[in-house]
Amino acid sequence: MYVKHTILIIDDELSLLKSVGERLEMENFNVIACTTAEQALETLARFTPDLMVVDLRLPQMSGLDFCRHVRSTENPSRLVPIIFLTTDRTEVSKVLGLELGGDDYMTKPFSPAEFVARVKALIRRSTGWDGAFEETMVSGSLDINYSRHEAKISDRLLDLSPKEFEILYLLVKKRGRVMTREFLMERIWGRPYINTSRVIDTHIKNLRKNLGEMQKCIITVEGLGYKWEEPENFTEKSHKVHS
C-alpha cells in the first residue's frame, strides 16, 4: 500500500488550476487548489502538503511575499519544497525566487509532462519516495510501466513513440471513459485543441498497429474521441453471440 502525496497549487488562472490539477490526480497525487495566497495560508494552518506550486503574480499577496511569510514561520510548511510559476523570462525573477526559498521554477506556458516530471523529482528528493505506486498497470496481457515508459503485451515490448505511449497510458488509466481529442491534446501536447483531429487520429492509428490483436480495445466514439475497453469484455460478448 502506498501513501498519496498532496500538492498545494496557488494560482489565480482557473484554466491552469484545472488542467494541472487533473494531470496530477491522474498521476495519483492529491491536489489542493487555491486562487490566492491568503486562501493558501488558511489551508497551511490546518494541513501540511508535500509540495507547493506557487504563481509569482498572485492578486493581493504575491507569490514571493507568500514564500517569505511561509519560510519565516515555525509552521511545518516552511520546510515544504516550492515550485514557482512565472511568465517573466528574465533571470532576475527566477534567481530572486530561488533565493527566497523556492526549490525550482517553471516558465508559463509549460509542458504538462515536464511539469509532472519536476513535481516527482522534488517529491523524490524531499521524501525519498521511489514512485512505486506507478510501477505497473495491467489490462489483459498488456502491461504498462509508466516510470520506465514501457508497454508490453505478453512480454513483447511495444515500439511506441513518447506520444503514443502517453495516449495508451491515458486510455488504459481511464478505461471505460471517453477521452476526447480536446482532452488528449491538452494533456499530452500541452496546448489547446484547435482543429487538430488529424494529429490525434494519426497517433491512434500507429498505436493500433503496435497493439496487434489488442487494437480492438481502442474504441472509436464517433464525434467525440476514443476509449479503452477491457479485453475480457470482448470475450464475454463473443460467448453471448455463440451461446
Mean pLDDT across the chain: 82
Of 121, 48, 45, residue with least CA distance to 83: 121
Residue range(s) occupied by CATH 3.40.50.2300 in the chain: 6-127
- pLDDT of 135 over the 60 cut: no
Give the Cα separation of 147 and 135 in Å (integer).
6
- pLDDT of 88 over the 50 cut: yes
More confident residue, 90 or 209: 209
Task: Please report how many Cα atoms fall inside a 13 Å half-sphere around the Cα of residue 22, on the Cβ side.
Answer: 14
Length of the chain: 243
Residues 163, 164, 165, 167, Cα dihedral to 10°: 90
Topology at the third CATH level for domain 135-242: Arc Repressor Mutant, subunit A (1.10.10)
Segment 59-71 mean pLDDT: 89
- pLDDT of 2 over the 50 cut: no
The pLDDT > 90 percentage for the chain reads 32
Residue range(s) occupied by CATH 1.10.10.10 in the chain: 135-242
More confident residue, 217 or 234: 217
Residues 20, 22, 25, 27, Cα dihedral to 10°: -70
C-alpha cell at 20: 494541472
Of 149, 140, 167, residue with least CA distance to 226: 167
Domain 6-127 grouped into CATH 3.40.640.10: no
Q: Band the pLDDT of 217: cuts 50, 70, 90.
A: very high
Per-residue confidence (pLDDT) for residue 91, from 0 to 100: 57
Give the Cα separation of 27 and 173 in Å (integer).
9
Segment 47-51 mean pLDDT: 88
More confident residue, 85 or 98: 85
Segment 68-87 mean pLDDT: 85
- pLDDT of 238 over the 90 cut: no
Q: Band the pLDDT of 35: cuts 50, 70, 90.
A: very high
Q: Give, in degrees to the nearest 5, the angle at Cα 57 between 29 and 72.
A: 75
Per-residue confidence (pLDDT) for residue 102, from 0 to 100: 78
Contact 217, 229 (CB under 8 A): yes
Respond yes or no on whether the N-terminal peptide bond of residue 109 is cis (omega within 30° of 0). yes
Segment 38-55 mean pLDDT: 91
C-alpha cell at 19: 488542467
Alpha-helical (H) ranges within 45-196 are 63-72, 91-99, 112-127, 162-173, 181-184
Contact 178, 224 (CB under 8 A): yes
Encode pLDDT of 108-130 as tens digits: 888 888 898 889 888 888 766 55
Encode pLDDT of 167-216 as tens digits: 998 899 888 989 888 778 777 775 555 555 678 899 999 999 999 999 99
